[in-house]
Structure 1
Amino acid sequence: MTKRYEFKVPLDFSFLTNPEETISFFNEMILLIRKKEKMQFTIYIDIAGVKHLTIDALMYLLAIINNMRNIFKRKVSIMGNSPLDSEINRLFKESGFFNYVKTNSVVPISKNSDKIQIISGKNSDTRIARQISDFVSLKLGLSRSECSFIYIMMIELMSNTFKHAYNGKGLFSNRWYCFCKYDRTEQRVAFTFMDVGAGIPTTVRKNFIEKLDILKLKGEHQYVISALEGKFRTNTELKYRGKGLPKIHETCKSRKIINMRIVTNRADVKDDGVNIKGSELSTSLCGTLYYCELRKGVLL
């Protein structure tokens, strides 16, 4: 008989509002998968009682479901239920989650014109970058040129996932996930992007050991802050290469994007365009989450 392990998601299932508990939830699952590498077993994810959910948590769940099938040479069954709360259940269906998983029952794939369902890829994809830029343009009533920075940011984030974020080891492959949602009441677009690579602090430690010794940084959040401030640029950089994080900070300062949040490894960093503040998490996220908002009044 196949062994079954049950995981109950936190009531607040979100890297944004409950990072510690959400990261711990996933790390326990990852630990089990690695520990039972040579065995067959079933994981059951109980999400029925969740009271608050953000898409980033679903993205990471998809990363685990989709990638471990390709890495481990055995069949692992992942099962689960759906949120009981009607509003959360609607978000669950409209997110596009069911585009990536198989179900025993018929689940209608709900679509909402105010959302770009979860998109996933491995490389820089100009078509998807344009799709997201055009979505913001349409929803906020802006011209394409006014939204060109979104296109550039998307290409940078995708490129970093493929070229820098993945360390070639562990549970995940080099894949990114993206989701956008327009809030009609507040006239804003919420943008969520996640990769499941090594993470910014890990990449910084690998590539800039000498600069770390000079800067004497304490805490992984300081690595991210310094990267945003452009302190980890190489002398051989090409004009349009490796400027992703400093460029994001410049965009925050210009107020084109607001409420920037980066969660990676043990770092939790917020960039409001004036100040960059960070804190250390007690547990480490394998990957990087980027969240920001775009508002018409701010952009104009």
Structure 2
Amino acid sequence: MKRRNDKNLVRRSRLKEFSKQRRFLFYSPLKFNTSYKSYNPSNKRYEFQAPCNFSFLNNAEETISFFNEMIQLINHNGKRQFEIFIDIKNVEKLTIDALMYLLSIINNMKNVFKRRISIRGNIPLDSNINRLFKESGFFNYVKSTNIIPIFKNSDTIQIISGKNTDTRIARQISDFVSDKLGMTRSQCSFIYVMMIELMSNTYKHAYANNAVNRISNKWYCFCKYNNIEQIVSFTFMDVGAGIPTTVRKKFAEKLDFLNLKAENRYVISALEGQFRTSTSLAYRGKGLPRIHETCQSRKIQNMRLITNKADVRDDGDVIKGRELSKPLCGTLYYCELRKENIG
């Protein structure tokens, strides 16, 4: 009986492995024919062509499609080893948010998946975009075959990454804004509070129910000062579950199986102060309403929030939202700070 049971166990294991392999044999690269140019079966290499306008802020639909197909390829290849090559040499316009999201995909995969999937790429040919590439601090997180000098610009805080709430980084960004705009620390204290809220939301909600378990909970942040316009632009990014997924929904909203209600409505209602925290704790859910209050006081302007299918803008008077055709896996927060508004 023992020999028979062992034999049956081996047979079942082989059948299970064979059925798994058969599923992947019928996997066709044609599913992802929008972004990648070619697939080489000899070295298992997929090549992806980045859009010419590589930006979530200026070209959300095309940029989201590019990244979604890459994520779909990673999630549906099981235990197979393969390589992804990202071609961005012909990019004509680039904003830091797309670069941060690319970096988050490369670095947030856990080690077991990094050993199976190698991600390579090139750099833009355009001199201005190439300079942004180097000044951003992108090469602090990836390896390069060539020696690429990293330009340090005193008007930027290079891409910073963290896993949970980091008061040191929040203070660093607050001090950067106060130094560049010539303000006192107390006048820029709201930036410190905003950073703490964004970090804590990422840590407590964005990666709380990570079913795939392939992504580690890291967020990314970048700041740049424009000396001519005297504006500090601020970008914060994570690749966890978006705000519409983590907010508390009412009973009727949970029954919306056909997704008739637009996701941007959930984000707008959370910004307006409706009790949307999934923890149901009275002291939680204050972050987004506080950010909206900061917009109303004109301390921050051009606020943009892209998460899942929601694309929301807040100018302080009116919150406008639109529904994207494809969801962004994560949350992008962008805003600008001007000296006279803070003063």
Q: TM-score range by the shorter chain?
A: over 0.9
Q: Which residue is equivalent to 1:281?
A: 324
Mapping of 1:169-208 within 5 angstroms?
Answer: 169-170=211-212, 171-204=214-247, 207-208=248-249
1:157 aligns with 2:190: no
* 2:95 paired with 1:54: yes
Which residue is 2:188 aligned to? Answer: 147
TM-score calculated relative to the size of structure 2: 0.83
- Pairs aligned (count): 296
Task: Give the Cα–Cα distance (whole angstroms) in 2 for the partners of residues 8 and 261 of structure 1.
Answer: 26
Tell me the residue number matched to 1:259: 302
Alignment partners' CA distance in 2, 1:244 and 1:188: 23
Once the two structures are overlaid, the 10-residue window that deviates more, 67-76 or 185-194, is 67-76
1:51 offset after TM fit, Å? 0.6
Alignment of 1:92-103 (within 5 A): 92-103=133-144
Contact 2:312–2:320 at 8 Å: present in 1 too?
yes
Partner of 1:90: 131
SS, match of residue 264 in structure 1: strand
Query: Does the CA contact (< 8 Å) of 1:208 and 1:232 recur in 2?
Result: no
- Equivalence map 1:75-86=2 (5 Å): 75-86=116-127
Which protein shows a greater Rg?
2
8 Å contact 2:304–2:314 — kept in the other structure?
yes
Q: Which deviations, in whole Å up to 9, do the C-alpha atoms of 1:79-109 show, x marking residues without a partner?
A: 1110000000000000000000011111111
Partner SS for 2:223: strand
Could you tell me which runs of 5 or more consecutive residues in structure 2 were left unpaired when the two chains were aligned: 1-41
Letter in 2 for 1:261: R
The CA deviation at 1:232 is: 2.4
The answer as to whether partners of 1:63 and 1:172 remain within 8 angstroms in 2 is no
Separation in 2, partners of 1:200, 1:59? 19
C-alpha separation in 2, matches of 1:133 and 1:250: 18
TM-score, length of structure 1 as denominator length: 0.94
**Which position in structure 2 is the counterpart of 1:30?**
71
| Cα distance change, pair 233–38 in 1 and its aligned pair in 2 (3 A) | closer
Tell me the SS of whatever aligns to 1:62.
Answer: helix
Amino acid at match of 1:284: P
Contact 1:45 / 1:78 at 8 angstroms: preserved in 2? yes
Instruction: Please tell me the residue identity of whatever aligns with 1:209.
Output: K
Residue 217 of structure 1, CA deviation = 8.1
Higher relative contact order, structure no. (Cα contacts within 8 Å, ≥ 6 residues apart): 1
> Hey, what's the Cα distance between the residues in 1 that align with 2:292 and 2:94?
27
RMSD (Å), alpha carbons: 1.8
| Cα distance in 2, alignment partners of residues 165 and 68 from structure 1 | 15
Question: In 1, Cα distance between the equivalents of 2:255 and 2:104?
Answer: 36
1:212, distance to aligned residue in structure 2 (A): 3.7
Pair 1:243–1:191, CA change in 2 (3 A): same
The Cα of 1:72 is off from its aligned counterpart by: 2.1
**Cα distance between partner residues in 1 of 2:113 and 2:324:** 29
What is residue 168 of structure 1 aligned with on the other side?
210
Letter in 1 for 2:117: V
CA positional deviation for 1:73: 7.0
Matched, 1:119 2:160: yes
**Equivalent position amino acid for 1:4 in 2:** R
* Contact 2:165–2:199 (Cα < 8 Å) also in 1: yes
1:110 to 151, 154, 157: 151
Distance 1:139 1:271 in 2: 24
